[in-house]
Amino acid sequence: MRSMLWAAAACGAALLALYGLLAMLAGFDVLAAIEATHDRYFKGVAGIRPYAFYLFGSPAAFLFMLGPVAWYASRSLGSSEITAVALAVAIAVTVLVGYTKAETERIWIFFVPMACLAAARALPERHLRPVLVVMATQALAIEVLFRTMW
């Protein structure tokens, strides 16, 4: 526990130093950026739909798009694997704060490597190729059917 607290404090100090440096060199104001982002959210679709829509919709969309990775990551979560637990906590905090409403497809992308690591703990080697085929097929189907810009 002590080493985790030390690592958290070191990361916090590094983050504060980075934002301090950005403020001094470029005039970046993190609080003003958060306020501007907040205003933009509520002028778009996030201001129209209720909180409950995103409370359930954002994680559902994310897990659906993960495909088989979500299944194996959830199996890791069931065995209390630390990466899966960290991912679940991060998703829960993100959803409860409600700051990523209507932005799941872009903002939550940084969760994907953590989900893959969590899934890898439960993925048997014999299932690796079929899972990769399913994921590639899913990606192709999404591109063809939905014509997203992503």
Same-domain status, 136 and 62: yes
Domain match, 117 and 147 both: yes
Question: Do 9 and 71 have their domain in common?
Answer: no
pLDDT tens for the 150 residues of the chain, in order: 889 899 999 999 999 999 999 999 999 998 898 888 777 777 777 777 788 888 888 888 888 888 899 999 999 999 999 999 999 999 999 888 876 776 776 778 889 999 999 999 999 999 999 999 999 998 888 888 887 665
Q: Cα separation of 4 and 10, whole Å?
A: 10
DSSP 98: T
Domain span at 7: 1-43
Residues 86, 13: Cα–Cα separation, whole Å: 21
Rounded to two decimals, the pTM is 0.69
Number of domains into which the chain is organized? 2
The answer on 78 and 54 residing in a single domain is yes
